[in-house]
Amino acid sequence: MRLRLIYKGFLSYGVLRPLGKVVAAFLCLVSPVMADEPVTVLALGDSLTQGYGLPEQDGLVPQMQKWLNDQGVEATLINAGVSGDTTAGGAARVEWSLTPEVDAMIVTLGGNDLLRGIDPAVSRGNLEVILQVAQAKGVEVLLVGLTAPGNYGPEYKTAFDAIYPELSEAYGALLAPDFFAGLGGGDPAALQRWFQADGIHPNADGVARIVEGLGPSVLALIEATEAE
């Protein structure tokens, strides 16, 4: 896309005229190749991203890759999910995880912070580090949120739930408000059919529904990256 814009600029200013038709034809041939390079997306997360308890092909990243392929989207997803990881772990490894070929990043962290009752201010700070590193590297981000349960009290829930939308706005990241949105609401007991026996990690069918819910946001991330 950038080469195509440069080519158009050269035409506007008459730069190509003295160079001859050979150079113009070369630029026309090169630009579509550059524009069609698949976007590489890093999925930075915990066991929900890694695919805990599932055959590899049933995990979030492989199912999301298939969903994108079915939409005719050329993109490559990298599974950077680490079971048990907290936002602190993500902040510690984001710098070296964002290798030069990575164009965009999905961040799905915070679930283990909730399980441990970590201060929301600490979780916010760690996620902010991740976003700052991505911003410095020019990497587009989709921040996937979670909502806190009520058992820590209303103040904790309010503070935690505000993290994702506020950081998304502050850093210009795309936002998917709730990782589990694809499972729908309603009776919590009825939702258990989408989970493994531990009641925490989704089963293969649950992941499929989560992918359907998150897919449009991932597609928006890819489109935003291609538009740069």
Q: Say which amino acid occupies 55.
A: P
Catalytic residue, candidates 31, 47, 123, 168: 47
- Rounded to the nearest angstrom, the gap between the alpha carbon of residue 158 and the centroid of all alpha carbons in its chain is 24
Tokens of 55: 């055959």
Residue 173, Cβ density class (10 Å: 0-12 exposed, 13-18 middle, ≥19 buried): buried
Catalytic residue, candidates 85, 113, 178, 201: 201
Sign of the C-alpha dihedral, residues 186, 116, 173, 50? negative
Closest CA to 215 of 80, 66, 109, 35: 66
Q: Say which amino acid occupies 164.
A: Y
Is 194:167 a contact under the CB 8 Å cutoff? no
Respond yes or no: is residue 97 known to be catalytic.
no
List of E strands, 70-145: 75-81, 104-108, 140-144
Respond yes or no: is residue 12 known to be catalytic.
no
Respond yes or no: is residue 113 known to be catalytic.
no
The set of catalytic residues is 47, 198, 201
